[in-house]
């Protein structure tokens, strides 16, 4: 091969390399990389500024230390609280992986170590063990502790409730982990008594709309379809769809409560009576555990009434003959 031909090949390679470099440079200027400011599919009930948003530079608030409350925690209360987690977790020895991992012997277990569960990158990179403080911080604000957590749970606000469920989780083991030393608990309790974290006024709770049917008539069902994606892990919506963690919701509007064959309802729901009319669906979606205290649905609720209206408007359309609205 002649020198002239070698030079032609070298020139072609050099030109291609310069072109690729310039293309990347221009693309970076036209389409700069940005972090997402909010979740692509928001989960109702999570803290507004769990990550991202206008408070990104604000120092995260850590929950009050759990250590002071463990010795006096009400384990039976923890057992009751665990029922709202049972839709996604099992707690018995050798129990199955559900939407979340089995939590037998979780106290002091290495994070991300339960075989058979696909953890988020953030949890796998967190490191350390699930000691009492780590469990407490995660239960208080899951998305603050691990921003990419797969757990769709807003968090447990009351420190005594967190202590109760952690004390109960501690007992789900052949050899329960040791409690902190009495001296450490006393010191932590003294510090907690001086804290004002639990005396701050509670945020105003969402109240079900008094005119939800009118809002449904004006709602955007396509927005409801997007919101329904956060429910799809536990429910199917198509005609003849399968049971998941929750019942199939095809034709749910005006269906008698607790009447879907093949699903094991809570006692409270079976005793509630009546049908899932617009008001009932709205009240349940706003505060599930307030409407049915022993509900199996581990979901905090949808705070914004226009979001509830959009979701119900979409659910209404999941029927051969959608239920009428006033004026129709």
State residue 87 phi and psi, 5-degree precision.
-65, -30
Proportion of the chain above pLDDT 90, given as a percent: 45
Domains belonging to the chain, first-starting first, are 67-194 (1.10.760.10), 212-317 (1.10.760.10)
Name beta bridge partners: 129: 110
Per-residue pLDDT at 270: 87
Angle 224-226-232 from CA coordinates, rounded to 5°: 100
- 66-85 tens-digit pLDDT: 787 887 889 999 999 999 89
Per-residue pLDDT at 185: 53
Per-residue pLDDT at 317: 94
Asked if pLDDT for residue 19 goes beyond 60, the answer is: no
- 170-223 tens-digit pLDDT: 999 999 988 876 545 554 445 444 443 444 444 444 444 447 888 999 999 999
Asked if pLDDT for residue 305 goes beyond 60, the answer is: yes
Query: Mean pLDDT of all residues in the chain?
Result: 77
Its pTM surpasses 0.85: no
Residue with tokens 């209360």: 77
Average pLDDT of the segment spanning 129-146 = 92
d(CA 137, CA 162): 9
Per-residue pLDDT at 42: 40
Residue 3: band (very low, low, confident or very high) from pLDDT cuts 50, 70, 90: low
Per-residue pLDDT at 153: 81
Nearest to 229 by CA among 50, 43, 37: 43
**Of 5 and 291, more confident:** 291
Asked if pLDDT for residue 46 goes beyond 60, the answer is: no
């Amino acid at each position: 091969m002649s020198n002239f031909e070698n030079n032609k090949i070298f020139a072609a390679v050099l030109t291609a390399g310069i072109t690729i470099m310039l293309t990347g440079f221009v693309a970076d200027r036209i389409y700069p990389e940005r972090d997402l400011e909010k979740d692509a599919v928001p989960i109702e009930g999570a803290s507004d500024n769990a990550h991202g948003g206008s408070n990104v530079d604000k120092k995260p608030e850590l929950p009050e230390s759990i250590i002071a409350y463990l010795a006096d925690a009400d384990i039976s209360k923890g057992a009751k609280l665990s029922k709202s987690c049972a839709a996604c977790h099992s707690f018995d020895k050798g129990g199955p992986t559900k939407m979340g991992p089995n939590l037998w012997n979780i106290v002091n277990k290495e994070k991300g170590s339960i075989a058979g569960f696909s953890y988020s990158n953030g949890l796998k990179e967190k490191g350390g063990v699930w000691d009492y403080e780590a469990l407490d911080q995660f239960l208080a604000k899951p998305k603050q502790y691990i921003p990419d957590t797969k757990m769709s749970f807003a968090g447990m606000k009351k420190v005594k409730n967190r202590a109760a469920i952690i004390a109960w989780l501690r007992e789900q083991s052949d050899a329960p982990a040791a409690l902190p030393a009495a001296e450490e608990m006393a010191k932590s309790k003294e510090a907690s008594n001086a804290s004002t974290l639990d005396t701050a006024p509670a945020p105003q709770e969402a109240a079900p709309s008094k005119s939800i049917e009118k809002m449904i008539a004006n709602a955007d069902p396509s927005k409801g379809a997007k919101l329904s994606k956060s429910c799809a892990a536990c429910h199917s919506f198509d005609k003849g769809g399968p049971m998941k963690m929750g019942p199939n919701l095809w034709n749910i509007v005006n269906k008698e409560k607790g009447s879907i064959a093949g699903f094991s309802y809570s006692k409270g729901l079976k005793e509630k009576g009546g049908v899932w009319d617009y008001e009932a669906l709205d009240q349940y979606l706003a505060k599930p555990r307030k409407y049915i205290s022993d509900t199996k649905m581990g979901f905090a609720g949808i705070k914004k009434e226009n979001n509830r209206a959009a979701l119900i408007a979409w659910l209404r359309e999941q029927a051969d003959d959608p239920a009428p609205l006033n004026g129709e």
